[in-house]
Structure 1
Amino acid sequence: MKNRPAYAIDSVDHALVLAQMLRHEGQLRVSEAAERLGVSPSTAHRLLAMLVYRDFAERSDDRRYFPGRMLRPAPVTEAPLAVLRRVAGPHLRALTDRVGETSNLVVVVGTETRFVMTTECTRPLRVGDRMGQTLPAHLTAGGQALLAAVPPAELASLYETSADVDLRRLRRELALVRKRGFAINDQRTETGVTAVSLPIPNAAARPEAAITLAMPTARFNRTQLPDWITHLASTATQIKADLTT
């Protein structure tokens, strides 16, 4: 697990978190930045001003902040992700509170899983914030939950020339995900971390996002798996309902 550095510099961390928000959500106001970081509006304003100075942000006439030229090259679908994050946020927080483990909202871009939101639990030993990180989709729980709905021809086009992926094995793993209705990542991407994931259903046959519960492997107990799946499924259904209203 990735732990917070012992001598972390909060101002640097806050500035980087703001840059991640801008990159993935497209715009911010000072009041929103302050609330999300848990700092005063004046502190949030100074942090955003420094991002503007270094070209990581731009400020509009109506005092909104947008990604600057240092962030724009990244491929981001801004508006849909912003809506998804806003709608899913309260449900992820409720899920984490109920289960007592860290939850994530993820999407797949190409062959990568992108973490677009994390709600950390408060337990001393926990999986930390993954927002903004990317991992190989074929290895992550959220990635497999979404790849399981990808048509066979498209899956082949993504992986048939990859030297790092055994396509036949991946197909077998995804068939199991489809049969069970959920995916598990047992330390494939990080030693000591296990995750369980379900896709968020939508009107189309192919979901666009998934939610995960991530926990220290020492706390992963298969006898609790049915309860975790029930909580994940309920949360995914609630997010779907709010997205369609």
Structure 2
Amino acid sequence: MDESQKNPPPYAIRSVDHALRLAAMLQLEGALTVSEAAQRLGVARSTAHRLLAMLVYRDFAVKDDQHVYRAGPVLELAAHSPSQTSRLRSAALPHLRHLVERVGESANLAVRTGDTTRFIASVESHRALRVSSREGMVFPAHRTTAGLLLLADLPDDELDELYAPDHYEGRPEERPDPRALRTDLARVRRNGFALNDGRSERGVVALGVGVREPDGTVAAGLSVSMPSVRYERHRLPELVNTLRAAARSVEASL
């Protein structure tokens, strides 16, 4: 087993998962009411209320006089470019939902911070067998679809600096092989999309394209994720075209 992959724990604790997802929503989306939290998680209002109360107790959330919950001190300290994240997320969410309806698979938007990628928006497929929400999760950039797209946009000198050996002192096993990474990134630039078959999680295939700022730089990676048993190679051109259309729609909304 590759320890650098992220796989769901064999005995997931649903209440913990709900609390963590709520924390990510508060940090990435902003204010939430109890009803909104319950609807997003698919739980009863009483359950959502208890979860939010615990987040308040641990300073992950605060509640105002109108009983609206917002990110608390802990999440505010850990926030990454909240204005940029909020702008990207707001522009992308409607198009992510439309993308899920079009392809029937989960859709994600992720940004890069150093050598990691963070999922800032995620919409799950409605299918029983699906890739679950990645919202708020952080992965090594070279192991994700979005990360490959964002790394491929970097000049060679920035890429060399990012993966310099001294940045991985004490953890050399986490540093990707530079030659293999350059080969991967050259393929992404040549194809104009990234395909990830089990790099970040076993049994999951993800396909993505870049979302560009007006100056042409790649601001985020837009992707769809599916169980590998459902991936059909002959659909690749169709999926890439659908993703590119979705990315252009997000760019127009920015």
- TM bin, normalised by shorter chain, reads 0.7 to 0.9
TM-score normalised to structure 2 length: 0.84
Residue 143 of structure 2: which of 127, 130, 139 is its match? 139
Corresponding residue number in structure 2 for 1:224: 235
- Whole-Å separation in 2 of the counterparts to 1:79 and 1:68: 16
Q: Which runs of 5+ in 2 are unaligned?
A: 1-5
Per-residue deviation, 1:208: 1.2
Match of 2:110 in 1: 106
* 1:179 and 2:190 matched: yes
Residues 40 and 85 of structure 1, relative CA distance in 2, 3 Å threshold: farther
Q: How far has the Cα of 1:50 moved from its partner?
A: 2.8
Deviations, residues 38-91 of structure 1 (Å, cap 9, x unaligned): 456666455333321221112345654332233333242212212322221111
- Matches of 2:22 and 2:12 in 1, distance apart? 20
The verdict on how the C-alpha distance between 1:218 and 1:3 changes in structure 2, with shifts beyond 3 A counting, is same
What is the match of residue 73 of structure 1?
Answer: 77
Q: How many Å separate the matches in 2 of 1:167 and 1:198? A: 22
CA contact (8 A) 1:57 1:66 kept: yes
Give 1:123 shift.
2.1
Instruction: After TM superposition, list the pairs within 5 Å mapping 1:158-173 onto structure 2.
Output: 158-161=162-165, 162=168, 163=172, 164-173=175-184
The Cα of 1:198 is off from its aligned counterpart by 0.2
Query: SS of the counterpart of 2:236?
Result: helix
Among 16, 20, 24, which residue is 2:24 paired with?
A: 20
Letter in structure 1 aligned against 2:161: S
> C-alpha separation between the residues in 2 aligned to 1:240 and 1:60?
34
User: Counterpart in 1 of 2:224?
Assistant: 213
SS in 2 for 1:28: coil
- How many angstroms apart in 2 are the aligned matches of 1:79 and 1:201? 17
**Amino acid aligned to 1:76:** H
2:245 corresponds to which letter in structure 1? Answer: S
Q: Hey, what's the Cα distance between the residues in 1 that align with 2:18 and 2:226?
A: 25
Percent identical: 46
Q: CA deviation at 1:172?
A: 2.0
Aligned equivalents of 2:53, 2:65: Cα separation in 1 = 14
Instruction: Single out whichever of 232-241 and 214-223 deviates more from structure 2.
Output: 214-223
Contact 2:115 2:142 in 1 (8 A): yes
* Distance (whole Å) between structure 1 residues aligned to residue 45 and residue 86 of structure 2: 21
Task: From 203, 215, 235, give the equivalent of 1:204.
Answer: 215
3-state SS in 1 of match to 2:229 = helix
Shift of the 82–4 alpha-carbon distance from structure 1 to 2, 3 Å rule, reads farther
Other-structure match for 1:129 = 133
Scaled by the length of structure 1, the TM-score of the pair is: 0.87
Query: Structure 1, unaligned stretches of length 5 or more?
Result: none
